[in-house]
Structure 1
Amino acid sequence: MPSPQKYNKKYDKLTDEEKELLEINKKSIADFVEQSPSVSDVDYATRNAHAKTYAVAKGKFIIDKNVPEELQQFFDKEKYDLVIRFSNAHLKINNNKKDFPAYGFSVKIKDEKGDLLANYPLVNFPLFPINSVSTFLKLFTSINRFYIKKWSSFNLMMQIIRVIPSTFTGSFLKNIFKLWTKKSDFFLSFNFHSVGAYRLGENMMKIKLSPKSVDKNFCKKSTQKDALGSYFKAIDFTADVLIQICYDLKDQPINRLNVEWKNSPFIKIGEVKIDKNSLLDPRSCENELLSFNPFESKIFFQPVGKIQKLREEAYKVSMQTRNKINKLLKYK
């Protein structure tokens, strides 16, 4: 096995133009969150992505006894406490029975003292359609402005058209087809992925969470929210936690998010376990205010890459705006 590629700050470096676009985007995020109660017709400010919460649960991360020796320094306890949020990726909370199958499985990992080790917002689609930071920021800003009625649908459509060429990769088209064939499947039957890379000390990795023995047709006629509630009342959930290490930037690119990594075997490092009856109240203010900002993680578990770097400021401004509004609502 070749030696892993080492993390370098150059993978995260933004140009001056990208920094300017990020400032514009941050303003659009704050504007969206401020108006999100009316956008989603709810009595609190929502996130400006993954706004809809299906459930929140407590869980455990059980470390595999056969973790490779070189990785044991990062997983030196037998188990860690988890808080997990199950969500839909849409910016707007949609109360229709059928949601588009873009799901989030966000994990907060804590040690035995309750100190945060890492946040990992995982999703059920392993790729991201945009490699260009500028293109992404312009699109995301236009989406925010469209929802708060500051931009027309024509402007949004023009930004979407600019993205389309980067979706024509074999990896992306294959996964789109796979998602389409599973569009009606139960939430917990999907694999969940880190779209971009993360640090593992001086190395870099991608993460995959693969559920075990989940019936894809569970509560087929129910909403995903109701199905998750029914599942966790009766059944324990277990999923393997797997990682890939970056060895060669050609085969495991850091800033090309629309292709899958190849020639890097999956390594099992443990299991996520959620016992039945472990759900928390997703409507409580404390749980609605949960943050899964991956840049709040310990430095050796933080995100890597330019698109990932945008998350740091985006999460921060979204959380600050959401906290300001929701704490006022809670105590008024």
Structure 2
Amino acid sequence: MPSTIRYNKKFDQLTDEEKALFEINKKSIADFVEQSSSVSDVNYATRNAHAKTYAVAHGEFKINPGIPEELQQFFDKDKYDLMIRFSNAHPQVGKNRKEIPAYGFAVKIKDENGDLLANYPMVNFPLFPINSVSTFLQLFTAVNRFFVKKWNNVFSLTAQVIKAAPYFFTPSMIKNVFRFIGKRNDFLLAFDYYSVGAYRMGEYVMKIKLQPQSVKKNFGRKMSMQKALESYFESNDYTADVMIQLCYDLNDQPINKLNQEWKNSPFIKVGEVKMMKGCLLDPRSCETELLSFNPFESKSIFHPVGKIQKLRDEAYKVSLQTRRKINKLLHG
């Protein structure tokens, strides 16, 4: 295997300005979650992103016996247990509106004792449009405040959208947006899913792609997505290839430019995700709603890498802690 870029803490370091903006953002996350039952007209506190759970399922991660020798140290078992959450990226749980086809495929990997190895929240779009941490935090804060305060914050939100707009117009972003538009009506399980940001694999730095082997893109088109998933797993199994790319050159595989695709890094198949028919759990249970897929709860050798990724740790914690507090009050 060619020489790779090794993980360095400098990839993750935030400036003092970014840290200050993050404190403001965390407050906006807590405010959103506290008001989220009203925002979504539900009887529980929701996440402030990927609020709607379509389904939760058990699965398996089967390791490819032909993985490169250098990577075998990270897989000491033939298979691992998975908990998987399917979601919609919108911060509001929609009931009667047309949903945006922005889906989440969050994976929790456990060992034979049920202990957590890694969380990987993945989405069906390979890029993240904003590279500037400050710009992202200001936009994310404005979005949270808009949902809580509505029109009182519309001018601030508009200003932040305009500020962030140039990041959406890289060649990679434009190409993938048009590709996404062409697939917008596809079944959730027919999409590829991506880690978007980078992750550690020991001292290696990688990105992850999940590629389904055979799912009809038109399945359940006349159903709601939740009903389509339930119908699919009544009589079908699901298998997807787990592919990774490694970082060899920061020019070709940038860690903190999430609106650029990695190039000149071949995909390596490390295994398969398998879900058998009948694998779905109750998506409406309180235990399901309190599931956390914070990637920083993973073992340190599988932690996220990069500045935007670094924000996930405390953001997930604030959201989860606030949800738990509110939901415990609501449900006794």
**TM-score bracket for this pair, using the shorter chain length:** over 0.9
Q: Secondary structure at the match of 1:199?
A: strand
* Aligned AA (1:220): R
Q: TM-score w.r.t. structure 2 length?
A: 0.98
Aligned to 2:198: 197
Counterpart amino acid of residue 15 in structure 1: T
Please give the secondary structure, in 2, of the residue aligned with 1:157. helix
Query: Quick one: distance in 1 between partners of 2:172 and 2:147?
Result: 30
Distance 2:213 2:197 in 1: 24
Superposed CA deviations along residues 22-43 of structure 1, whole A, max 9, x for unmatched, are: 0000000000000000000000
In the alignment, does 2:166 pair up with 1:182?
no
Offset at residue 2 of structure 1 (A): 2.8
Q: 1:277-302 CA deviation, whole Å, 9 max, x = no partner? A: 01000111111100000000000000
- Cα shift readout 1:220-278 (whole Å, capped 9, x = no counterpart): 11111111110011100000000000000000000000010000000000000000001
RMSD between aligned alpha carbons? 0.9
Q: How far apart are the structure 1 equivalents of 2:181 and 2:123?
A: 15
Q: 1:144 and 1:183 mapped to 2: Cα distance?
A: 25
Per the alignment, in what secondary structure is the counterpart of residue 47 of structure 1?
Answer: coil
Letter in 2 for 1:4: T
- State the alpha-carbon separation in 2 of the partners of residues 236 and 103 from structure 1: 20
Residue type of the alignment partner of 2:270: I
Q: One-letter code of the match for 2:193?
A: F
Aligned to 1:256: 257
Identity of aligned residues (%): 70
For structure 1, list consecutive stretches of 5 or more residues without a partner in the other structure. Answer: none
Question: In structure 2, how many angstroms separate the alpha carbons of the residues matched to 1:111 and 1:212?
Answer: 25
Q: Is the 8 Å Cα contact of residues 12 and 309 (structure 1) preserved in structure 2?
A: yes
Tell me the residue number matched to 1:297: 298
- In the TM superposition, what is the alpha-carbon distance from 1:94 to its structure 2 partner? 0.8
Q: Secondary structure of 1:322's partner?
A: helix
Deviation at 1:156, TM superposition (A): 0.5
Q: Which residue of 1 aligns with 2:99?
A: 99
Within a 5 Å distance, the mapping from 1:54-203 to structure 2 comes to: 54-96=54-96, 98-149=98-149, 151-203=152-204
Q: Distance in 2 between matches of 1:96 and 1:236?
A: 30
CA distance in 2, matches of 1:133, 1:250: 20
Aligned pairs for 1:259-298 (under 5 A) are 259-298=260-299
Per the alignment, residue 49 of structure 1 pairs with: 49
Number of residues of Structure 1 aligned to a counterpart in Structure 2: 331
* TM-score where L is the length of structure 1: 0.98
Which 4+ stretches in 1 moved above 6 angstroms? Answer: none
Q: What is the distance in 2 between the residues matched to 1:71 and 1:152?
A: 49
Distance 1:2 1:107 in 2: 29
Q: CA deviation at 1:97?
A: 5.7
CA contact (8 A) 1:97 1:223 kept: no
SS at match of 1:130: coil
Letter in 1 for 2:277: K
Report the CA distance between 1:330 and its aligned residue. Answer: 2.3
Counting only pairs closer than 5 Å after superposition, residues 25-40 of structure 1 correspond to structure 2 as 25-40=25-40
SS in 2 for 1:149: helix
Q: Distance in 2 between the 1:57 and 1:98 partners?
A: 24
CA distance in 2, matches of 1:116, 1:187: 26
- Deviation of 1:328 after TM superposition, in Å, equals 2.1
Partner residue in 2 for 1:308: 309
Whichever residue aligns with residue 180 of structure 2, its letter is L
Q: Is the 8 A contact 1:244 1:265 kept in 2?
A: yes
Whole-angstrom distance in 2 between the partners of 1:155 and 1:68: 50
